[in-house]
Structure 1
Amino acid sequence: MTEKNETACSKARMSLLFAVIVGLCVLLDQWTKRLALQHLPLETARSFLPGLVELIRIENHGAAFGMLQGQMIFFYGITAAICLFVVYVLYRLPEKKRYMPLVINLAFLIGGALGNLCDRVMRGSVVDFFSFIPISFPVFNVADIFVTCAAAVFILLFCFYYKEEEFSFLK
């Protein structure tokens, strides 16, 4: 195998892993939302983890905390911009195993974003159903968990794993 073929194979593996994770995230998110639609009456709470989490299905026409209600074009644009930026990063990404945590994290971010986009396109709203009882927190779904966890992991990766010069490929 030539060096060029090894490079292409490595990029292909990274792309395949990215695509598989994104697909699994979207499938899991959509499956859980289908279960919520089938088994949870609208706005009726059911205990899930007593004192910690309850299940309550709501239809969210905005973002977290009820912001930007009904602004679908804005959400489509933001999702498209994020997806385009991630594709750009993946295209420019050096083919080193060191960047695999970044690829995996980007996949969870995009999987979550696309899961909620599917709802917005198909239903005109996002199905949320997890409610965290101990604090007043917005009702959320599996896609929101993927996006939130990816954001937290990004902070950890950028603060403790990667060095600033390792992102010079984006310049």
Structure 2
Amino acid sequence: MRLSVVLSGLVTAIVVLAADQGSKWWVLHGLHLPEIGQVVILPVLNFTMVWNRGVTFGLLTGNSNFAHLALAVFALAVVIVLAIWLTRTQRLIIALPVGAIAGGALGNVADRLHYGAVVDFIQAHAFGYSWYVFNVADAAIVCGVAALVIDNLLPGRSDATASGAKNRG
């Protein structure tokens, strides 16, 4: 059971990474969004080209090579921690979001190393309000974190409970 849980998390990471990098390749080289700037998809959804040189939502923006490398190294360290967590979990409900977060982090690291910035292009908006421009990796990270928070808030739903650690006492 444990091996299948770990493999499920790894497959999730690979699928997220592939979807993220594939969508970014298409936006850059198929749609040519950097030249176009913006494409209206739906009344509430645009593809809008943004080169994010900062962290989440453009925070801590840095234009130096050191800043790009530091952010990439930090994200890789997070991925290593997530990989350790993945190998220790016995629950699929933990492995899938951990894999999604790791795959998303790797997708954004690939951008930083290749372009010096993260390719963001999805812009949701409604009623005069516009959310930050994001990408598939960002969406996977946010959904993964939300799933882990929800699981943690549910009574009796931690890895410790699943492994019987609380009942040994």
Does TM, scored on the shorter chain, surpass 0.5? yes
8 Å Cα contact 1:40/1:57 also seen in 2: no
Question: Equivalent residue for 2:103?
Answer: 111
Cα drift, residue 12 of structure 1: 2.5
Deviations 1:67-118 (A, max 9, x none): 111232332233123222222223333x4xxx11101110011011111111
Question: Equivalent residue for 2:13?
Answer: 22
Cα drift, residue 44 of structure 1: 1.7
Cα drift, residue 163 of structure 1: 4.4
Letter in 2 for 1:48: I
8 Å Cα contact 2:45/2:122 also seen in 1: yes
Question: Equivalent residue for 1:138?
Answer: 132
8 Å Cα contact 1:64/1:138 also seen in 2: no
Pick the aligned partner of 1:166 from 146, 161, 166. 161
| SS class of match (1:152) | helix
8 Å Cα contact 2:9/2:86 also seen in 1: no
Letter in 2 for 1:58: V
Q: Which runs of 5+ in 1 are unaligned?
A: 1-9
Relative to structure 1, the CA distance from residue 80 to residue 41 in structure 2 (aligned partners, 3 Å threshold; closer, same or farther) is closer
Relative to structure 1, the CA distance from residue 132 to residue 11 in structure 2 (aligned partners, 3 Å threshold; closer, same or farther) is same
Relative to structure 1, the CA distance from residue 11 to residue 164 in structure 2 (aligned partners, 3 Å threshold; closer, same or farther) is closer
**Could you tell which deviates more after superposition, 158-167 or 101-110?**
158-167
8 Å Cα contact 1:65/1:138 also seen in 2: yes
Taking the TM superposition and a 5 Å limit, the aligned residue runs for 1:12-161 are 12-38=3-29, 39-42=31-34, 44-50=37-43, 52-70=44-62, 71-93=67-89, 95=90, 99-134=91-126, 135-160=129-154
| SS class of match (1:69) | coil
TM-score by length of structure 1 reads: 0.80
Looking at structure 1, the residues matched to 159 and 7 of structure 2 have their Cα atoms a distance apart, in angstroms, of: 27
Overall identity of the aligned pairs, in %: 26
8 Å Cα contact 2:6/2:87 also seen in 1: no
Looking at structure 2, the residues matched to 153 and 13 of structure 1 have their Cα atoms a distance apart, in angstroms, of: 20
Q: Where in structure 1 do 4 or more consecutive aligned residues deviate above 4 Å? A: none
Letter in 1 for 2:148: F
Q: Which runs of 5+ in 2 are unaligned?
A: none
8 Å Cα contact 2:8/2:92 also seen in 1: no
